[in-house]
Amino acid sequence: MATPDSTTPFAATKKCPHCGRWTEWQQRPTDRCQHCGQELEPHRAAADEHRQQQADAPLSDRLMLIEIKPDDNPVIKFFKYIIRGGQLAFGALMAFFVWLVTVAAG
Ligand SMILES: [Zn+2]
């Protein structure tokens, strides 16, 4: 199975989701239909873009901490703080266990 980034010598064909005709493609998310010029995998292209955005995201986002927006409902905010507290506590607990194992291993 080829990775999306590798260039494959084999010309694959894919049925275009837009015009329904078969077109050659290099199995890359940015490949476009030979007939209508639309992206063959708009979902995957969007997913790649999303992944790129996540890579640029601040640390709190990469830690998957729940986002608390300033305009959130106070009740929602309250619950989000609880969830976030749980996430942080879990992270601290994990760090503690890592420390414990390190110390125990001498
Ligand atoms: Zn097409």
* Centre of ligand 1 from the C-alpha of residue 39, in Å: 8
Q: For residues 56 and 5, which has the higher predicted lDDT (pLDDT)?
A: 56
Q: Is 33 exposed, middle or buried (0-12, 13-18, 19+ CB in 10 A)?
A: buried
Q: Give residue 41 CA to ligand 1 midpoint distance, Å.
A: 11
Residue 17 CA to ligand 1 centre (angstroms): 7
| Ligand 1 centroid – CA 51 distance (Å) | 26
Burial class of residue 18 (count of CB atoms within 10 Å of its CB; 0-12, 13-18, 19+):
middle
Whether 87 maps to a domain, the answer reads yes
Residue span of the structural domain in which 35 resides: 12-56
Q: Are residues 46 and 29 located together in one domain of the fold?
A: yes
1 found inside a domain: no
The encoded tokens of residue 63 equal 């830690």
Residues 39 and 68 in one domain: no
Does residue 5 sit within a domain?
no
More confident residue, 3 or 37: 37
Q: Which of 45, 95, 60 is nearest to 69 (CA)?
A: 60
Reported as a single tens digit per residue, the pLDDT across 36-84 is 998 888 777 677 777 777 666 665 555 667 788 888 899 999 999 999 8
Shared domain for 100 and 66, answered yes or no, is yes
pTM for the full predicted model: 0.35
Q: Partners of 22 in the beta sheet?
A: 15
